[in-house]
Structures are given as C-alpha cells and as structure tokens.
Chain A
Amino acid sequence: MGSSATDLFDRLGAPSRMRRLAAYDLFHPDLSARLDDLASRTAQRLRTPVSLVSVILDSSQYILGAHGVSGWVIEARGVPAEWSLCSTTVLAGAPYCIRDTTTEPELAGNPLVRMSGLRSYAGVPLTDNTGQHLGAHCVIDDVPRDFTADDLEVLTEGAVETMHILERHRS
C-alpha cells in the first residue's frame, strides 16, 4: 500500500468515525432492498444511468444500495477506497461534482474511471446527527454533465432519507 493510500485509510478509519458506522446494522437483508429503491428513484429523477448509496469504510467503499451497476463492482459490493470518488465526498464533507473526468488531471490515473467509462459524478455526504460523514449518495453519468443546484437538492433529499432508513437499522 502506498503512503498516500495509507494516509487516506487513516483518515477514513478514524476510530470515532468507525464507531458511528458500527452503530448501524449495515448487513441487514432489508436495508439493501430499501436503498436499491432509493438509488433507483434518484437515478430516475436525475436521468442518470447509475446511482449509489454507500458508506466509506477504512479501506473500501461499501455499496449499500445501487441502481445501474453491474460487473465486478456489484459482485464485490464496492471498490477500493483510493479509487472511490465517494471517498472524496466524505472527506470534503460537502457536495462534490465532476463535470468531465477526462479533463480532471487528478483522475487521470484512477483505474475505476479508466475501466468504467465514468464521465461525470455528483455526490453528497451521508451525515449523522453528530456531524460525522459516514458515506455518500451519488449519481454517475457516462457523458459530461453540469450538475445544477436542483440536482444537488435531489441528492441531498436522498441522503436525508438514507439516514432516516439507517436510523431504523441501528444495531
């Protein structure tokens, strides 16, 4: 593991943050179906091929709900944290948008971007009632796209609904 990845894992894996994540039963069988439905609704509203609801663990993005994802990402239920754009959303603690991944130098070496054809991204953090950013709700498109304030409002509504659903799945 490179030192930059280790630094990332240390930030994401802070014990206080991991304890907040561990307060939820993220493996409950009903949770995935409810969050798949939520992701599907967001994708329809924003007319994107992909939407995800994820938490960011110390070294991986763990997908809790998904629409439009196939292949190894859904088989693995996630991606390495250092490839994850949702990791950036979580660490920023604020909405994070990319209009066109091909014009972003810092994404030029990102294997997930190269493999998936991911062209544009918008994500908002999933924030608990203590202010911890636990994950992200996002949409992904295969064409360049300018995300609007209205688009981010739809994502924020989805993030709030996600946190309500998670609250009903406390361990």
Chain B
Amino acid sequence: MPPDPYGLRLPTMTDARDGIHRVHGDDGPRVWAELLQKAGATEDLDRLLPVMTEADPVTRLCAQALTIRRAAHFHLSAAQDLTRS
C-alpha cells in the first residue's frame, strides 16, 4: 500500500459519520441512521455518497466536502505513482 499523498487520507465511513454528526449537531445521530438505512446499512462510502447527495441540503454539502477530499486523494495518488514508476 503506497503512503497517503502528503498525508491526505482517503475518506472513510467514519469520516462521513463524523461529518454528519458535526454539521447536523444534535440531529446528527438521527440523520446518520436514516442515511445508513437508505444506503442499505452499507460500510461502503461509494454507496453512501450518492445517498448523501440526494438527501437534505446540509448533508449534500457534507457529501461534497468528502467528494473533494476523495478526488484530491485520487489525483495526488496518481501523480505519486507516476513519479515513482
């Protein structure tokens, strides 16, 4: 497993849960439970992100933040691989 580029970790389900709890405050646990239910109790962020994007506007922004982090990780990892090969 190559090191994370510039220390940037690929976002995980835990990051998504923390984000939802953060941006929804006291309502976070309820919103998270509903998202998980709609996503089919998944542990896969790829399945959860589309559900977050179709949810309420605050959750959509949280999804966008995770999507940007994931895209940054993808592009920087690819560049790292190129310089290594």
Contact = CB atoms under 8 A, between A and B. Distances in A.
B71 A10 contact: no
A81 B76 CA distance: 16
A21 B71 contact: no
Interface residues of B, number: 27
Given A75-B71, A115-B6, A62 B76 contact: no
Contacts of B22: 9-10, 13, 58
Contact of B61 (A22, A77, A80): A22
A59 B71 contact: no
B3 to A, nearest CB: 13
A112 B37 CA distance: 37
Nearest to A110: B6
A78 B58 contact: no
Interface string B44-73: 000000000000111011101110110110
Q: Which of B61, B69, B75 has the most CB of A within 10 A?
A: B61
Contacts of B24: 15
Interface residues of A, number: 32
B38 interface: no
Given A60-B64, A60-B68, A19 B58 contact: yes
Given A1-B9, A22-B61, A75 B75 contact: yes
Interface in A91-119: 111, 114-115
A60 B19 CA distance: 11
Contacts of A60: 64-66, 68-69
Given A9-B19, A59-B19, A72-B75, A18 B68 contact: no
A23 B58 CA distance: 9
A3 to B, nearest CB: 12
A80 B69 contact: yes
Contacts of A18: 23, 58, 61-62
Nearest to B6: A111
B68 A78 contact: yes
B79 interface: yes
8 contacts: A1-B15, A18-B61, A21-B61, A22-B61, A61-B68, A76-B71, A78-B72, A171-B57
Interface of B: 6-9, 15, 18-19, 22-25, 56-58, 60-62, 64-66, 68-69, 71-72, 75-76, 79
The 6 closest A-B pairs by CB, nearest first: A72-B75, A22-B57, A111-B6, A76-B71, A57-B65, A60-B68
